[in-house]
């Protein structure tokens, strides 16, 4: 069978489209899986274990949080206290398996946003909190950071400013082996120190003559207008 140049071109385009679509589908599934696992974990902490709420209230909260196919999984269950436990079991069976949750938290650690600017305190705080949440979530699932620390450290090094990595390694000089807990303690201390400095300098600036002069100039310019 002989293919014309035009048909060959169409076949190549179709192959590229199919490959990209499959890659996109996989990425969407990972994001979706992570989102569902996160929702269930938050719900369990805030609602499911809350003894002040009745089962029917918990069921109502649960239904209000779910969308798409997750909501469809329990859509056939009427809103009754008895069906709440059934709904929880259905969702656990489908989305709450331990290996799925571990995979979700691990993927988040592998896809952290890098922060290169040492002075970007807000981004550094956000990064630290995200790392801390994922590690603690893994610990709650029985996965201790000691078991994967040597693999995670190089990944975390790439997410923080280079001078932080240098300073951390200097402080660790003499230790046989650094671990994730050491890095988190270092990051927390650095971020808290910078936050305190930022707050202090902001107050000093507002109390300074320069700030008063600036305020006077602004008010004068408003009056002139």
- Comparing 209 with 50, the larger pLDDT belongs to 50
* Element containing residue 214 per DSSP (H, E): helix 209-224
pLDDT in tens, 120-169: 999 999 999 999 999 998 888 888 888 888 889 999 999 999 999 999 99
In whole angstroms, give the CA distance from residue 187 to residue 163.
12
Token pair recorded at residue 71: 């909501």
| Average pLDDT over all residues of the chain | 76
In whole angstroms, give the CA distance from residue 193 to residue 204.
16
In whole angstroms, give the CA distance from residue 135 to residue 179.
13
Tally of CB atoms within 10 A around 65: 13
- Comparing 79 with 21, the larger pLDDT belongs to 79
Token pair recorded at residue 142: 């029985």
In this structure, are residues 193 and 201 in contact, taking their beta carbons and an 8 Å threshold?
no
Q: What pLDDT sits at residue 203?
A: 56
- Comparing 102 with 202, the larger pLDDT belongs to 102
Q: What pLDDT sits at residue 205?
A: 45
The fraction of the chain above a pLDDT of 90, given in percent, is: 29
The CA R_g of the chain, rounded to the nearest whole Å, is: 26
Token pair recorded at residue 113: 């946003």
pLDDT in tens, 50-98: 888 899 888 888 888 777 777 888 888 999 999 998 988 888 787 767 8
Q: What pLDDT sits at residue 40?
A: 63
In whole angstroms, give the CA distance from residue 168 to residue 175.
12
Q: Which of 113-122, 174-183, 207-216 has the lowest mean pLDDT?
A: 207-216
CA distance readout (Å), 187 to 4, 156, 166, 208: 62, 11, 12, 31
Using the predicted structure, report yes or no on whether residue 214 has a pLDDT greater than 80. Answer: no
Q: What pLDDT sits at residue 109?
A: 93
Using the predicted structure, report yes or no on whether residue 20 has a pLDDT greater than 80. Answer: no
**For 44-120, where are the alpha helices, taking DSSP H only?**
55-65, 68-73, 81-95, 98-110
Q: What pLDDT sits at residue 183?
A: 94
pLDDT band of residue 28 (cuts 50, 70, 90) is: very low
CA distance readout (Å), 15 to 5, 26, 107, 166: 15, 17, 28, 46
């Amino acid at each position: 069978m002989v293919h014309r140049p035009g048909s060959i071109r169409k076949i190549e385009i179709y192959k590229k489209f199919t490959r990209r679509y499959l890659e996109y589908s996989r990425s969407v599934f990972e994001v979706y899986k992570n989102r569902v696992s996160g929702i269930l974990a938050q719900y369990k902490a805030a609602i499911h274990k809350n003894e002040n709420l009745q089962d029917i209230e918990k069921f109502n909260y649960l239904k209000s949080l779910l969308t798409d196919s997750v909501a469809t999984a329990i859509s056939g269950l009427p809103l009754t206290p008895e069906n709440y436990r059934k709904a929880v079991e259905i969702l656990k069976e489908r989305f709450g398996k331990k290996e799925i949750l571990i995979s979700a938290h691990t993927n988040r650690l592998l896809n952290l946003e890098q922060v290169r600017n040492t002075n970007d305190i807000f981004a550094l705080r956000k990064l630290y909190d995200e790392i801390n949440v994922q590690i603690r979530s893994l610990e709650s699932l029985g996965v201790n950071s000691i078991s994967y620390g040597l693999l995670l450290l190089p990944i975390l090094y790439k997410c923080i400013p280079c001078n932080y990595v240098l300073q951390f390694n200097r402080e660790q000089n003499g230790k046989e082996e650094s671990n994730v807990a050491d890095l988190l303690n270092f990051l927390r201390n650095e971020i808290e120190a910078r936050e305190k400095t930022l707050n202090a300098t902001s107050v000093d600036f507002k109390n300074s003559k320069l700030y008063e002069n600036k305020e006077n100039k602004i008010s004068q310019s408003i009056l002139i207008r």
